A and B are shown apart, each in its own frame.
Chain A
Amino acid sequence: KNEVEQSPQNLTAQEGEFITINCSYSVGISALHWLQQHPGGGIVSLFMLSSGKKKHGRLIATINIQEKHSSLHITASHPRDSAVYICATSLDKVIFGPGTSLSVIP
């Protein structure tokens, strides 16, 4: 069993849909990160959170420490949101999930 798991592995959505990507982890953490990797390959940090909820534009990240679970929500999805979304946990080391590939169709 991987220490950081994501679901779904692949996701296709229509433009405008509300999207949820899930991340479950089995390790202790000091923080959980959400990253975005565009088709060109570049990786951008979206959020770093250790409790509660953070919002940036149409993106919302939540974490439930007791349940060891985090979600990334995208409201009013757009084709430019098409990317791979990666969650990662950090304590003394960083462990990356396998990523969720999102495709938003116009």
Chain B
Amino acid sequence: NAGVTQTPKFQVLKTGQSMTLQCAQDMNHNSMYWYRQDPGMGLRLIYYSASEGTTDKGEVPNGYNVSRLNKREFSLRLESAAPSQTSVYFCASSEVGQGRYGYTFGSGTRLTVV
């Protein structure tokens, strides 16, 4: 099915370990986003990529890096995981200014850092 695919769905890391969350979309969208969702808080933007080859910091970028590998793929890397990064991470994409529905979200990655 067309949409946004995120991997992995679940991950447990030890403090200090690194990992990369993968995201791919097959809708030919220009813009892609990484959000984190914490209990009692709204989705918060970590990084976004308005188009292939560009990335920009969002509201909570510290401790993360991103790569827009091509138009389809946008990865999020935690270089040295901390317990404060325990969260649910969502990747999303959009065709800015178009579309009946604004955003398409991946199914989420539940990350626990111990």
Q: What is A's interface to B at a CB cutoff of 8 Å?
A: 4, 31, 33, 35, 41-48, 86, 88, 90, 93-99
Contact = CB atoms under 8 A, between A and B. Distances in A.
B102 A44 contact: no
13 contacts: A41-B107, A41-B110, A42-B105, A43-B92, A43-B108, A48-B102, A86-B42, A86-B43, A88-B42, A93-B58, A94-B45, A94-B103, A96-B43
B88 interface: yes
B102 A90 contact: yes
Interface residues of B, number: 21
Q: Give the dominant DSSP class at B's interface.
A: loop
Given A48-B100, A48-B101, A41 B42 contact: no
A92 to B, nearest CB: 10
Given A42-B108, A43-B90, A33 B103 contact: yes
Interface string B24-61: 00000000010000001111110000000000001000
A96 B88 CA distance: 15
A29 to B, nearest CB: 12
Contacts of A86: 42-43
Q: Most chain-B CB neighbours within 10 Å: which of A46, A90, A94, A98?
A: A94
Contact of A43 (B44, B45, B99, B105): B105
Nearest to A42: B107
